[in-house]
Amino acid sequence: MEIGFIGAGRMGFHMVRRLIEAGHTVIVADNSADAIARAKKVGAQTAASTKEVADRVETVMASLPTPNIVLAVANEVAEGKKIRRFIDLSTTGASMAARTAEILKKHSIAQIDSPVSGGVGGAEKGTLAVMVSGPKADIDVAEPALSVIGKVFRIGERAGAAQTMKLINNYLSATAMAATAEAMVMGVKAGLDPKLMLDVINAGSGRNTASMDKYPRAIITRTFDFGFATALMLKDVKLCLDEAAALGVPNDIMSAVGRLWQTTQDEIGPDTDFTTVVQPLERRAGVEVKAK
């Protein structure tokens, strides 16, 4: 299958590589010369623009950092001569998904919302959770390729349904990170060994994705290099808050979680790794959550 791929960054590169290894022809466009060079090394063809990608293939995938960039790309690919379906692997929220779907529909292009979860490690191993919504016939065409990058979950046909699922997933991930940060800082302040704390938590009912993976790998080791930016997590929580408000759903816990991520971005920086969420709490408590 010939596939266009827009955005070959940290996540996108591994998806491109896996598609090529599975026998697909992949044509990549990216604003970064380094990303283009890296994709070429694993066998990708390249295009000078997103419009050129949409001129050359029927199926175009995109892995992009923000909703506004996705909107801009959707407008560009809508002018393509050959494109028939646009698969958005990004996290944009349901309202933006509906907006881009309407733009593409005017050009007889189907949109498949296909946000993914599992991080850079999941993209590298092909173990992502791939949530899809959109026209069934187009998902049928795309599913064999999407299955290369992870496990496909069909959420529904309505534009934005998969985006809602992704925001719910990321909100829970963000909450686990934030709650575990408070718990670990509290324990260290009380004199507990953070490694032993994680061993106990992960053997008991408090275990979660943060305590089982992120804290042992990137926080108590003080590497803070898990591979996802603070600004992106804050973006996802804000999108989830917006959607909860639009649906009239209570969001007290979500709002509290959002405040910690906002504080982390303000104090530690938007481009820092999201595992730095523990640092504002450490500063206030006067301790560090680190292995002895």
Please choose, from the candidates 240, 235, 265, 267, the residue with its C-alpha nearest in 3D space to the C-alpha of residue 251.
240
How far apart CA 46 and CA 65 sit, in angstroms, is 20
pLDDT at 63: 97
Please choose, from the candidates 60, 63, 51, 16, the residue with its C-alpha nearest in 3D space to the C-alpha of residue 37.
16
Going by pLDDT thresholds of 50, 70 and 90, the confidence category of residue 292 is confident
pLDDT tens column, 160-199: 999 999 999 999 999 999 999 999 999 999 999 999 999 9
Which amino acid is located at 271 in the chain? D
Q: What is the mean pLDDT of residues 73-85?
A: 97
Just list the catalytic residues: 166
CA dihedral 95, 99, 105, 106 (to 10 degrees): 160
pLDDT tens column, 140-169: 999 999 999 999 999 999 999 999 999 999
How far apart CA 49 and CA 52 sit, in angstroms, is 5
Please report, for the chain, the start and end positions of each structural domain, with discontinuous segments joined by +. 2-159, 164-285
What does pTM read for this prediction? 0.92
Could you give the percent of the chain with pLDDT greater than 90?
Answer: 98
pLDDT at 223: 98
How far apart CA 50 and CA 53 sit, in angstroms, is 5
Q: What is the mean pLDDT of residues 238-252?
A: 96
The CATH code belonging to domain 2-159 is 3.40.50.720
CATH 3.10.310.70 applies to domain 164-285: no
Query: What is the CA 255 to chain-centroid distance, rounded?
Result: 20
Which amino acid is located at 212 in the chain? M
Work out the mean pLDDT of the chain and round it to a whole number: 96
pLDDT tens column, 18-39: 999 999 999 999 999 999 999 9
Say if CB 131 and CB 114 are below 8 A apart.
Answer: yes
pLDDT tens column, 119-138: 899 999 999 999 999 999 99
pLDDT at 124: 95
